[in-house]
């Protein structure tokens, strides 16, 4: 039975469905492999994952946020534009999925600019939010995000609710909408023997974890948010999409669930906790 949906004002929990559309860039930029086999795993996210996810979101009329590296937008313009055309938010996710903590400041600046340029050319979108590749940040990242006008970040893990980003002991004007490894598909499922990632968990185990964390967030209420982080090349397998659907149906049975895009959660936080 469906619960009573929540709005920003009338909710127990904000739920954000986020998808990092890494495609080939994760293999090239993070795992540093360019073999045809590895790249084909990335292509699976565009060929099968994205269409399958878009169909699921449409069936339940749910909003989502896709963080898209510039390289992905350039290789897969149709899928990237399909995401935007379906009304989903597009966020910045690096250019070639380069981990920022390994970059000097000029290279990190170039990565931000190339990512912005690709999204501007291909989907005509200026992203309001940033999620760093693999949730790594350099000591320069937040200053650079402020320079380029980003309004929120989705790379930190310090709370179960939004908060103001602090940089070098000073509060910035950037809202953090935090994530969690437990609520990310990659730690559970990703199989990369060369990187000692054994993954391949049973979906039923992840279903238990994701439902359990949602139940806790809903019971607690207030300004808590529940942010799922998924990857089309990982969650896009049939049995995992089926698991995600079971989780969504579980969430939809509850009252007071506000399904929101990440920028809406950041806007809501900014309204309720304006800078002093």
Least Cα distance to 145 among 159, 128, 158 occurs for 128
Nearer to Zn ion, 131 or 161 (CB): 131
Q: In 10 A of CB 73, how many CB atoms?
A: 29
13-20 and 225-230 beta bridge pairing: parallel
**What sections of the chain are H helices per DSSP?**
24-25, 36-44, 50-60, 70-75, 77-85, 105-123, 141-147, 185-189, 203-220, 232-235, 238-252, 262-272
Task: Pick the stretch among 58-66, 101-109, 133-141, 146-154 that binds Zn ion (CB under 5 A).
Answer: 133-141
15 neighbors 3 (Cβ within 8 angstroms)? no
Nearer to Zn ion, 6 or 178 (CB): 178
18 neighbors 68 (Cβ within 8 angstroms)? no
Smallest gap, in angstroms, from Cβ of residue 218 to Zn ion?
27
Smallest gap, in angstroms, from Cβ of residue 35 to Zn ion?
19
Smallest gap, in angstroms, from Cβ of residue 164 to Zn ion?
24
C-alpha–C-alpha distance, residues 268 and 255, integer Å:
19
Smallest gap, in angstroms, from Cβ of residue 196 to Zn ion?
18
CA dihedral (86, 88, 91, 97) positive or negative: negative
Q: Which residues contact 210 (CB under 8 A, 6 or more apart)?
A: 183, 228, 247
Task: Pick the stretch among 9-17, 130-138, 166-174, 257-265 that binds Zn ion (CB under 5 A).
Answer: 130-138
Smallest gap, in angstroms, from Cβ of residue 119 to Zn ion?
15
Residue 20 is a binding residue for Zn ion (CB under 5 A): yes
Nearer to Zn ion, 133 or 162 (CB): 133
Smallest gap, in angstroms, from Cβ of residue 131 to Zn ion?
7
From candidates 22, 151, 176, 185, binder to Zn ion by CB under 5 A: 22
Q: Which residues contact 3 (CB under 8 A, 6 or more apart)?
A: 252, 253, 254, 255, 256, 257
Q: In 10 A of CB 102, how many CB atoms?
A: 11
Nearer to Zn ion, 100 or 133 (CB): 133
Residues in contact with Zn ion, total (CB under 5 A)? 3
Nearer to Zn ion, 134 or 174 (CB): 134
What residues from 34 to 93 belong to the interface with Zn ion (CB under 5 A)?
none
Task: Pick the stretch among 74-82, 127-135, 152-160, 162-170 that binds Zn ion (CB under 5 A).
Answer: 127-135
DSSP string, 181-213: GGGBHHHHH--BGGGTB-----HHHHHHHHHHH
Task: Pick the stretch among 129-137, 148-156, 180-188, 209-217 that binds Zn ion (CB under 5 A).
Answer: 129-137
Smallest gap, in angstroms, from Cβ of residue 219 to Zn ion?
30
Smallest gap, in angstroms, from Cβ of residue 37 to Zn ion?
19
Residue 268 is a binding residue for Zn ion (CB under 5 A): no
Q: Which residue is nearest to Zn ion (CB)?
A: 20
150 neighbors 174 (Cβ within 8 angstroms)? yes
Residue 151 is a binding residue for Zn ion (CB under 5 A): no
Q: Which residues bind to Zn ion, rule: CB under 5 A?
A: 20, 22, 133
């Amino acid at each position: 039975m469906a619960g009573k949906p929540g709005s920003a004002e009338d909710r127990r929990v904000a739920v954000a469905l986020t998808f990092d559309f890494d495609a080939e860039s994760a293999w090239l930029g993070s795992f540093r492999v360019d073999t045809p086999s590895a790249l084909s795993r990335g292509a699976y996210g565009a060929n099968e994952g994205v269409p399958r996810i878009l169909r699921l979101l449409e069936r339940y009329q749910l909003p989502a946020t896709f963080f898209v590296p510039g390289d992905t937008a350039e290789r897969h313009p149709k899928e990237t534009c399909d995401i935007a055309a379906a009304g989903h938010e597009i966020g910045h996710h690096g250019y070639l999925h380069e981990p920022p903590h390994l970059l000097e400041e000029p290279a990190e600046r170039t990565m931000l600019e190339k990512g912005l340029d690709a999204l501007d050319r291909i989907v005509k979108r200026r992203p309001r939010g940033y999620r760093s590749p693999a949730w790594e940040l350099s000591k320069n990242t937040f200053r650079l995000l402020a320079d380029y006008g980003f309004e929120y970040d989705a790379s930190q893990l310090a709370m179960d609710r939004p908060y103001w980003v602090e940089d070098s002991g000073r509060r910035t004007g950037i809202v953090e909408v935090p994530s969690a490894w437990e609520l990310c598909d990659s730690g559970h499922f990703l199989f990369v023997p060369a990187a000692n990632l054994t993954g391949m968990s049973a979906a039923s185990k992840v279903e238990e974890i994701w439902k359990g964390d949602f139940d806790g967030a809903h019971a607690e209420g207030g300004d808590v948010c529940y942010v799922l982080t998924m990857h089309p090349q990982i969650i896009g397998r049939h049995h995992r999409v089926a698991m995600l659907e079971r989780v969504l149906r579980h969430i939809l049975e509850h009252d007071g669930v506000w399904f929101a895009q990440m920028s809406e959660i950041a806007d809501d936080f900014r309204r309720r906790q304006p800078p002093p």
